[in-house]
Chain A
């Protein structure tokens, strides 16, 4: 099949939800690209795959995996990796990303992005897994920084050191989720500005923006939860603007996966990201 995709542009895109299809097609220029969750398109057939077949000819597509469990202590699920390869070979997405997290264990697939301690042992496993993914899929993957709620006493390096090692040793790129920076640093009572200042921004291939839920922990301190069910908050827009001033425009995704809003609300979030991207384009 000679299908060649369009490159994801350095402007705003959205996570594709079937309920928005008609409106997206009615105003296709309101967004630059779409991202899909790989696992939703691993059925044998049906309307979801048919929609994707249609969309990929009209929009640049980014393929975002949520189920590979790259941070697992055990081996990667070869069957799942083969399904991912089949999808990526067919879809030929312009970007492909996965998470620094694990979700599969002997007891089953837990459907959440679970954290791992930052130790030499985790590092070596993650590097092996990314090497394996890139070899099987036959392209570079972007690794996303996680939202975390806990810390591990076992950790011997910080997240930035951990990501730097991974990038150096696997040649993968990074997907920087700015909301995740805000959620994790708030939860860890550390500085988002410091995190961003140290982040190896030259390896970023894509940015995520999304909303979170604010709760408190047992001590009354803020406990933010990466819920993807709300607009992007102002402090996250501020970190994003700082990032874009430094890097120049990057493909930026609005993620809204729960309590999915009407299209105009989502389109407006994308427009706000485009405003920041355009400001930087003009300044450059």
Chain B
């Protein structure tokens, strides 16, 4: 019974499931359609709340039509609607009516990272003394534990500027150059930054490598990479949860 009922909710071409009726046994008609509508509208709203900038860019009408296609193809896998829409950036790479907006999937990746950062595990910033106590030989092998919310989205489009233009009062002109976006939530607000190539490589590398390796990699992409400046910036932004010295 539920299989037929469920499939019909996502496919408007299927008939009303057998045995589903209105009062007095008459055809259910619009009554079953209430469920169809509830499902698609509620999932579309969930998607819109995760991807407000995509909606701003394409307009509400287009977004709703596009969401109608998405939600039928990718219904949620779990009841945690706070995480719904993880497949949306990938879906956008193949959605023909919007394919001319090449930057759209990357904007969606930024919005997905914002959602994930918002609900990520909390962590208190580490004491500044831990950084001050690092010296010489210890430095290279130290492990910088970053805040769990940090994510980096690289794009060949100016996605950071596109996001900023469409969601804040900052209407700085959008250039042509590729941009990197760093997303984090050190306290209660999601913070958006536009790091240099070296800073982004440094942060990405710190997720798996010790400090020395991360520094080498950052200098590899940006010879003037400023280690002290970047560490201090991460620390004062509350994005370093801990600094661990290698056991001797």
Contacts and interface: CB of A to CB of B under 8 A. Distances in A.
A107 B19 CA distance: 21
A150 B75 contact: no
A46 B119 contact: yes
Interface in A33-74: 39-40, 42-50, 66-69, 72-74
B19 A154 contact: yes
Most buried by A among B9, B78, B122: B78
B6 A107 contact: yes
B82 A112 contact: no
A218 interface: yes
Contacts of A116: 1-2
Nearest to A79: B78
Interface stretch (B23-31, B128-136, B153-161): B23-31
Contacts of B6: 105-107, 110, 114
Interface in A218-240: 218-219, 221, 223, 225
A252 B69 CA distance: 39
A13 to B, nearest CB: 23
Given A106-B3, A112-B42, A153-B19, A50 B122 contact: yes
A189 B5 CA distance: 23
A260 B155 CA distance: 37
A111 B22 CA distance: 23
B79 A67 contact: yes
Nearest to B3: A105
Contacts, number: 143
Nearest to B28: A150
A202 B20 CA distance: 32
A102 interface: yes
B30 to A, nearest CB: 5
A44 B121 contact: yes
A103 B9 CA distance: 11
Interface size class of B (residues with CB under 8 A): 35 or more
A109 B22 contact: no
A3 interface: no
A152 B3 contact: no
A77 B42 contact: no
Nearest to A51: B188
Contact of A189 (B19, B23, B121, B122): B23
B77 A108 contact: yes
B178 interface: no
B35 A112 contact: yes
Interface in A78-128: 79-80, 83, 102-112, 114, 116-117
Contacts of B23: 151, 187-189, 221
B92 interface: no
Contacts of A110: 6, 9-10, 39, 75
Nearest to A39: B79
Interface in B44-85: 46, 75-83
Interface of A: 39-40, 42-50, 66-69, 72-74, 77, 79-80, 83, 102-112, 114, 116-117, 149-154, 187-189, 215, 217-219, 221, 223, 225
29 contacts: A40-B82, A42-B82, A43-B119, A44-B120, A44-B121, A44-B148, A46-B118, A46-B119, A47-B118, A68-B79, A72-B2, A77-B78, A80-B78, A104-B79, A107-B6, A108-B77, A109-B77, A111-B39, A111-B81, A116-B2, A150-B22, A150-B35, A151-B21, A151-B23, A153-B20, A153-B21, A189-B24, A217-B29, A218-B29
